[in-house]
Amino acid sequence: MSISDRLPDYPVNSDFVRKLKSALEGRDEARLRDLICADVRHVDAVIELANDDWMKDPSAPLPPGVLVGLWTLEYRRELTTPLCIAAAQGHTACVRHLLGRGADPDASPGGRGALHEACLGGHTACARLLLQHRADPDLLSAEGLAPLHLCRTAASLGCAQALLEHGASVQLEGGAGRDTPLHVAAQRCLDEHARLYLHHGASVDARNGRGETALSAACGAARRPDEHARCLRLCALLLRRGAAADARDEDERSPLHKACGHVRPSLARLLLRHGADTHALDYGGASPLARVLQTAACAPEAEPQLTVQELLNHGSPTVWPDAFPKVLKSCAAVPAVIEVLFNSYPQLRVSESWKEVIPEEVFQMHRAFYRSLFALAHTPRCLQHLCRCAIRKSFGRKCFSLVPLLPLPETLQNYLLLEPEGVLR
């Protein structure tokens, strides 16, 4: 008989479960403690918190998914134990009480053990108690995840330390994605977790099921603005520990492709300083520059022109001239991107037909810039611009480092580094 077919000691419709749910929903710690520590018949009782198997009851109202033909034959059944509930809630005294009465620290009728639950909640004291009572630090959940894989928040750092002290494997692959704990830390910008795992021998360039290294995973995850600094610290740490800046995933995308796709100029700069290849092409034939140009209009607040500047100042090839109208069409709402890219060519023939790809409201919003662009339709670029291009061609991919060494005013250095001015001259 499988776990899902096992008859629970306390079914979902029992009076005990109703009281338990009420205590959980009301955050009534005292009542919860009484229920799981005193009212259960035995410490390893199986408690059914949910069961949506509507197929067993033909008279039950059908879930909305059935009505639109999206329902699968699987259903959700949530089984747990008093120890798992106590660990998930961070009730250390309850965990101690239950373990003292002989509760099995590795019991997992619902697919996750108490140690998994403690790590998910970041409850270090509970995790340590369980480990002291011989909980398996590498116990796999039904999804194939070890407790270290569930250390997903900053609050779980103490749990991760306790697990490693008790012999948890830092290299264990878990889940469908075959992520190591270092991948999990990278995906969530947990730089202190990453430092801990590397200290315990984690392989910095281990690959997951998608062919990603931790650096690739860190660069590929979308971030909130408040996470950017932590992500940058984490990536800098990985690179200092020898992470390959150009490691490709299964789609041949490098960390630089991903940083550019998310319009992260500071991260792109870090990767470029560590030798990331600006010429790299993914399976779709896109370069890092193409990736940021594809995304620029969706993230104007991220100042995509800064990422474009970084790439061009590190020797990125420009867009094929005949394709420039496509760039103009996709990036019209971010004229600073157009300006930086346009100024990377010694001469680019401007066509009046380009006006057709710029929405009228965008043209009017950025009228000064677009008037300056089309004023160049029948005029060669100025000598100063041609000198800029000659110097940049001579410096090549070292523009970013050589231009600041020139005995020139900062304004001219910025000009050489394609700093946008708002108009084209």
Q: Give the mean pLDDT of 122-151.
A: 97
pLDDT of residue 71: 45
Q: Is 4's pLDDT higher than 50?
A: no
Side chain identity at residue 289, one-letter code: L
Distance CA 398, CA 396 (A): 5
pLDDT for 5 equals 53
CB count in 10 Å sphere of residue 415: 18
% of the chain with per-residue pLDDT over 90: 77
Average pLDDT over residues 55-70: 48
Mean pLDDT across the stretch 151-164? 98
Q: Is the pTM of this model over 0.95?
A: no
pLDDT in tens, 325-357: 999 999 999 999 999 999 999 999 999 999 999
Amino acid 129: pLDDT: 97
pLDDT at position 6 is: 60
Q: In the predicted model, what is the mean pLDDT of residues 66-70?
A: 45
pLDDT grade, residue 66 (50/70/90)?
very low
Domains of the chain: 1-60+72-167 (1.25.40.20), 178-204+213-218 (no CATH), 252-425 (1.25.40)
Res. 3 pLDDT band, cuts 50 70 90: very low
Average pLDDT of the residues of the chain: 91
* Percent of the chain with pLDDT strictly greater than 70: 93
30-54: average pLDDT: 82
Reply yes or no on whether the pLDDT at 58 is more than 90: no
Using pLDDT thresholds of 50, 70 and 90, give the confidence band for residue 359: very high
Tens-place pLDDT, residues 246-286: 999 999 999 999 999 999 999 999 999 999 999 999 999 99
Question: How buried is 12 (Cβ within 10 angstroms: 0-12 exposed, 13-18 middle, 19+ buried)?
Answer: middle
Tokens in use for 167?
A: 């012999």
Q: What is the pLDDT of residues 370-396, one digit of tens each?
A: 999 999 998 899 999 999 999 999 999
Determine the distance from the C-alpha atom of residue 394 to the mean position of all C-alpha atoms in its chain, rounded to a whole number.
38
- Per-residue pLDDT at 360: 95
Q: State the average pLDDT over residues 87-104.
A: 94
Sign of CA dihedral 291, 413, 344, 379: positive
Is pLDDT of 141 > 90?
A: yes
pLDDT at 1: 39
